[in-house]
Amino acid sequence: MSHDSPGAAENVAVETRELSVAYAGRVVLKDASLKIARSKITAIIGPSGCGKTSFLQSLNRIGDMISGCTVTGQVIMDGANVLAPTTDLIKLRRRVGMIFQKPNPFPLSIRKNIQLALREHRIGNRVEIDSITQRVLQDVGLWDEVSDRLDTPALKLSGGQQQRLCIARALALSPEVLLFDEPCSALDPVASRVVETLIESLRNQATIVIVTHNLAQARRIADNVAMFWYENGAGALVEFGTSPMIFESPRSPITAAYVQGTEG
Partner 1 sequence: MNQESCVRLAESGRVGERLTSIAIWFMASSVACVLLCIIGDLVWHGVAGLSLDFIIAAPARSGREGGVGPILVSTFVVLTIAIAVSMPIGLATAIGLSEFTSRESRFATFVGHGLDLLAAVPSIVFGLFGNALFCNLLGLGYSILAGGLTLACMVLPILARTIEASLRNVPDDYRVASASLGICRARCTASILLPAASSGIVVGLVLGIGRVLAETAALLFTSGYVDRMPRTAMDSGRVLSVHIYDLAMNIPGGTENAYTASLLLVGLLVGINLTASILVRYLFPTQRVV
Partner 2 sequence: MLATTLVRSAAVFACSIVLLVIAFLAREAWPAISELGPRLLLDESWHPKATASTGTFGIWPMIVGSLAVTAGSVAIAAPVGVSSAVFSEYYAPRVIAVAYRRWVELLAGIPSVVFGFWGLVVLAPLIARISPPGQNLLCGMLIVTIMILPTIMLVVQSTFASVPRIYLAGAVALGMGRWAVIRQVVLPTSRRGIATGVMLGATRAVGETMAVVMVCGNVVKTPQSIFDPVRTLTANMALEMSYAMGMHRNALFASGLILMLVCALAIVSVNVASRRA
What is the binding site for partner 1 (CB under 8 A)? Answer: 23, 64-69, 88-90
Closest to partner 2 by CB, 210 or 227: 210
Nearer to partner 2, 27 or 168 (CB): 168
| C-alpha angle 131-101-128 in degrees, rounded to nearest 5 | 10
- Measured from the CB atom, the residue of 69 and 210 that comes closer to partner 1 is 69
Distance CA 64, CA 207 (A): 22
Half-sphere exposure of 7 (CA within 13 A, CB side): 12
CB-CB contact of 156 with 164 (8 Å): no
Minimum Å gap between C-beta 131 and partner 2 is: 19
Identify what 157 binds: partner 2, partner 1, none; CB under 5 to 8 Å per kind: none
> How far apart are CB 127 and partner 2 at their closest, in Å?
21
Residue 100 Cβ, how far from partner 2 at the closest point, in Å? 6
Minimum distance from residue 242 beta carbon to partner 1 (Å): 31
Q: Binding residues for partner 2, per CB under 8 A?
A: 60, 62, 65, 67, 89-94, 97-98, 100, 102, 104-108, 116-117, 120-121, 166, 169-170, 173
Residue number, 140 or 259, with CB nearest to partner 2 = 140
Which residues, at least 6 apart from 181, have a Cβ–Cβ distance to it below 8 Å?
A: 53, 56, 57, 98, 99, 100, 101, 211
Question: Which amino acid does the sequence have at 81?
Answer: N
CB 203 within 8 A of CB 39: yes
- DSSP, collapsed to helix, strand or coil, labels residue 259 as helix
Binding partner of 59, given partner 1, partner 2, none, CB within 5-8 angstroms per partner class: none
- Residue 63, number of CB atoms within 10 A of its CB: 18
CB atoms within 10 A of CB 88: 8
Residue 188's binding partner, choosing from partner 2, partner 1, none, with beta-carbon cut-off 5 to 8 A by kind? none
Give the β-pairing of 12-23 and 207-211: unpaired
* Shortest distance (Å) from residue 236 CB to partner 2: 25
Judged by CB, which is closer to partner 2: 199, or 225?
A: 199
Q: Which does 97 bind (CB under 5 to 8 A by kind): partner 2, partner 1, none?
A: partner 2
